Amino acid sequence: MATKIRDIMTGSPTSVSPELDIVTVARAMRDEDIGAVLVADGDELRGLVTDRDLVVRGLAAGGDPSQAKIGGITSSVTATIGPEDSPQKAAQIMRERSVRRLPVLEDGRPVGIVSIGDLAVEEDSGSALADISASRPNR
């Protein structure tokens, strides 16, 4: 059983500039088979964009997504966690903040991302969420 976030996080998370257009980011997420990217200026975290943000704030809002900047639909990061923190602390933060993903910061720099699915696999590998999170995506 992992005792630290470092053991279960996705390291080297995909990070994009707030100046990129929505279509470019959506394609990168598709190509990398990921549901979220960090939005950063260099090492400074600006926010997080999920696949849901792309649909609800990007496409459904109208306009040309190839001209709209990802920075305009970025969700603020309301909480982060450190790589040496425990999965239990991450679960508590997610519960309190009603979030499904936490950026992992070390010395103020993004070094990973941990999701509720990562915690489910770690804490209860027999749960339905763990099964879904651990399975390969349908293609």
Cβ burial of 25 (10 Å; 0-12, 13-18, 19+) is buried
Tens digit of each residue's pLDDT (9 = 90 or more) over 38-62:
999 988 999 999 999 999 999 998 8
Asked if residue 127 has pLDDT above 80, the reply is no
Q: How many domains does the chain have?
A: 1
Within-domain flag for 91: yes
Segment 90-98 mean pLDDT? 96
Segment 66-93 mean pLDDT? 96
The contacts of residue 24 (CB under 8 Å, 6+ apart) are: 70
- Give the global pTM: 0.83
Q: What is the domain extent for residue 107? A: 5-134
Between 125 and 132, the higher pLDDT residue: 125
Within-domain flag for 139: no
In the chain, at which residue ranges do the beta strands (DSSP E only) sit?
Answer: 10-11, 15-16, 36-41, 44-50, 101-106, 109-115
